Amino acid sequence: MAWLGDTPTPGDPGSAAGVYNVRYEFNVRVPMRDGITLSADIYRPDAPGRFPVVLARTPYGKNTQRAWHYGNFFARHGYVFVWMDVRGRGDSEGEFVPYRNDAKDGYDAIEWLARQPWSTGDVATWGGSYLGRIQWLTALEKPPHLKAMIVHVTPSDPYVEWPTGTPGPMHVCWNRMTDGRVLQYVDKIDWMKVYEHLPLVTMDEAAGFVSRHWREDCAHPTLDEWWEPLRYQHRFHEIDLPVLHVSGWYDDEQIGTPLNFAGMVRHAPSERARRGQKLIMGPWGHRVNESRKLGEVDFGPEAVIDLDGYEVRWLDYWLKGIDNGIGDEPPVRLFIMGANRWRDEHEWPLARTRWTKFYLHSGGRANSRFGDGVLSTEPPATDEPPDVYLYDPARPVPFITDPLSSQIGGPDDYAAIETRGDVLVYSTPPLDRDVEVTGPVKLVLYASSSAVDTDFMAKLVEVHPNGFCQRLCDGMVRARFREGMHKEVLMEPGKVYRFEIDLWNTAQVFKRGHRIRLEIASSAFPKYDRNLNTGEPLATSTRMVVAENRVWHTPAWPSHLILPVIPE
């Protein structure tokens, strides 16, 4: 055993004021129903009595500096904090199959922890990304002693973030990182070259290994029964729990967090659970609350908050019954970029939103930022000529990102990308006043193609007076899945189709003198795999054709961007 910390504050040892010494128990074996054991490191207050438990289950290794920080922090504040290696990872027995065993293992772990002599029987779960999704999957198993969840940067259901019918190319980096029992070193692999490999199904070999999990996922391009064990967003009505949802506007899995908050507020089975949802969205990437600066953008001194302290307050309310006022506070806390300040709200999306249509216009030459593309709140009055570009899968439009899968994109400058002729650019004139856009962003696009299948990508950009073109949010549609991910329906070449593209969410004040801009292309590589335009099977095809794609903006086909404008 070892100890760390200050002398406990006198008074009720379960109060928010208590600061405890910490006792450690490493590599504790926790039995699962099938006889294997998972390994847990337990940080608990070194004091008599029972304490609520916070459980984090990870495939990334529980014996890290980060684990040490959080284990000690929560234990010092009166919680037993348990880090556990998921099945087949680290010191846990069994085989690692991503997500497939975590729901039942989570149930067994929670119920085991509830029975321990130092436990009050009240358990919360905590963690982000993989650790977040498996909390939702565990909650569907309804462990009786699970009382609350804190979920960061949570992945959505399959094909919500990447509606392509394939794993994203950068996911193969994650597969390599989690290959075997411990984290693998991936920094020196030439990932951009790996992502160019065709066919997709053997991209793992291009990275120097073979991944059964990558290949199995590639074999299921539609939302079939294979994916059902990984889905939870259609089952919020089964989850009767308070949840603290945390993410960042530049989290590469950001779309799930606001969806989950709104879904639980609307569909959770009890009024207590519906009122027990909290949402925090900061100016962060996939690692929340890490820095005031992301890429080239400094979000100011308010960007980093005492998130740890807030989480303790929230747990004190739900697990210790301390009436600290958090239940009466507004449920939504948003960082408004551009203004660089936090604001409390009462719902998501905001009730006062003015859903404003910005129509696409041009004289048929919106190619690049040097073209004639315009965004306007006035719909097309005449049949404007379509904007035409060639999409060549051998020369895709780049998506600016670090090549590792740990963070995909950020507030990057797309000025250079916008010089390409296969990128359509539509901009407002410089704004004569500040305009706040906070909420979900959507594009209704009328488009046609010479190909039977192609992609359409859309990106919302803020253009600064100095020429910096800051990415805010983006999304895409693969034409064969325009009717949903349950089936593939190819296009008729030359026919105009209506596409809806979810550009995810943002909270941005476009300053006076800045411009609102929309980019449209047919690739964003390597965030998304390249559509080869042939309609052939996605995972195994290698043949490419060049597609001539057209974007229409006429009275009959009025392509338009829908922005959630917030009144001053």
Rounded CA-CA distance 190/34 in Å is 40
Same domain, 318 and 392: no
pLDDT of residue 12 exceeding 70, the answer is no
Domain boundary among 345, 366, 388: 345
CATH number of 42's domain: 3.40.50.1820
Q: Do 370 and 389 lie in a common domain?
A: yes
In tens, the pLDDT along 225-238 reads 999 999 999 999 99
**Contact status, residue 97 vs residue 137, Cβ threshold 8 Å:** no
The answer on 188 and 133 residing in a single domain is no
Within 13 Å, how many C-alpha atoms sit on residue 364's CB side? 5
Token duo for residue 476 = 């895409």
pLDDT for position 530: 98
Per-residue confidence (pLDDT) for residue 79, from 0 to 100: 98
Q: Number of H helices and number of E strands within the chain?
A: 10, 23
pLDDT in tens, 99-142: 999 999 999 999 999 999 999 999 999 999 999 999 999 999 99
Q: Are residues 409 and 496 in the same domain?
A: yes
Residues 311-365: pLDDT tens digits?
Answer: 999 999 999 999 999 999 999 999 999 999 999 999 999 999 999 999 999 999 9
Q: Tell me the pLDDT band of 5, cut-offs 50, 70 and 90.
A: very low
- 4 inside domain: no
261 shares a domain with 369: no
**505: in domain:** yes
What is the model's pLDDT at position 103? 98
CA–CA separation, 247 and 287 (whole Å): 8
How large is the average pLDDT for residues 159-176? 97
Look up the domain containing 189 and give its range.
167-220
Same domain for 275 and 375, yes or no, is no
- Please report whether residue 424 resides in a domain: yes
- Close Cβ partners of 66 (under 8 Å, ≥ 6 residues apart): none
Radius of gyration in angstroms for the set of CA atoms belonging to the chain, rounded to a whole number: 25
Q: Do the domain assignments include residue 9?
A: no
**Residue 140, in any domain of the structure:** yes
Task: Provide the pLDDT for residue 568.
Answer: 85
DSSP string, 12-50: -TTSTT----EEEEEEEEEE-TTS-EEEEEEEEESSSS-
pLDDT band of residue 15 (cuts 50, 70, 90) is: very low
User: Rounded to whole angstroms, what are the CA distances from 143 to 69, 270, 329, 460?
Assistant: 27, 17, 28, 42
Question: In the prediction, which pLDDT does 18 show?
Answer: 59
Tokens of 347: 């719902």
- Strands, DSSP E only, in 450-532? 455-463, 469-478, 497-510, 515-521
Q: What confidence score (pLDDT) does residue 17 get?
A: 47
**Which residues are tagged catalytic?**
129, 251, 286
Across all residues in the chain, what is the average pLDDT? 95
- Paired sense of beta strands 387-391 and 374-376, if any: unpaired
**pLDDT above 60 (res 27):** yes
Assess whether pLDDT exceeds 50 at residue 16.
Answer: no
Residues 111 and 235 both lie in one domain:
yes
CATH code, domain with 528: 2.60.120.260
Q: Is residue 539 part of a domain?
A: yes
Q: Please give the tally of structural domains in the chain.
A: 3
Least confident of 9-18, 153-162, 419-428: 9-18
The tokens describing 556, both together, are: 């009959």
* pLDDT per residue as tens digits for the range 59-102: 999 999 999 999 999 999 999 999 999 999 999 999 999 999 99
Is the domain of 134 the same as that of 281?
yes
Q: Could you give the angle at the alpha carbon of 84 between the alpha carbons of 81 and 85, nearest 5°?
A: 160
74 domain-assigned:
yes
Domain boundary (304, 321, 345) is at 345
3-state secondary structure 361-379: ECCCCCECCCCCCEEECCC
- Output the six-digit token pair for 541: 């095809």
Checking if the pLDDT of 14 tops 70, the result is no
Name the nearest CA neighbour of 148 among 331, 312, 15.
312
Pair 283, 380 in one domain = no
Tokens 């010092």 map to which residue?
76
CA dist., res. 111 & res. 38, Å (int): 14
Using alpha carbons, list the distances in angstroms from residue 526 to 169, 172, 209, 220, 408: 6, 11, 20, 20, 9
pLDDT in tens, 198-214: 999 999 999 999 999 99
In this structure, are 434 and 453 located in the same domain? yes
Region 10-17: mean pLDDT is 38
User: Same domain for 88 and 201?
Assistant: no
Q: Of 326, 345, 364, which residue sits at a domain end?
A: 345
Domain match, 278 and 341 both: yes
Candidates 283, 246, 282, 248; CA nearest to 261 is 246
Q: Report pLDDT digits (tens) over 479-524.
A: 999 999 999 999 999 999 999 999 999 999 999 999 999 999 999 9
Distance CA 150, CA 203 (A): 35
As given in the structure block, the two tokens for residue 93 are 């027995």
Would you say 88 and 95 are in contact if contact means Cβ atoms under 8 Å apart? Answer: yes
Residue with tokens 């051998």: 394
- Is 7 inside a domain boundary? no
pLDDT of residue 263: 98
Q: What is the pTM of this model?
A: 0.95
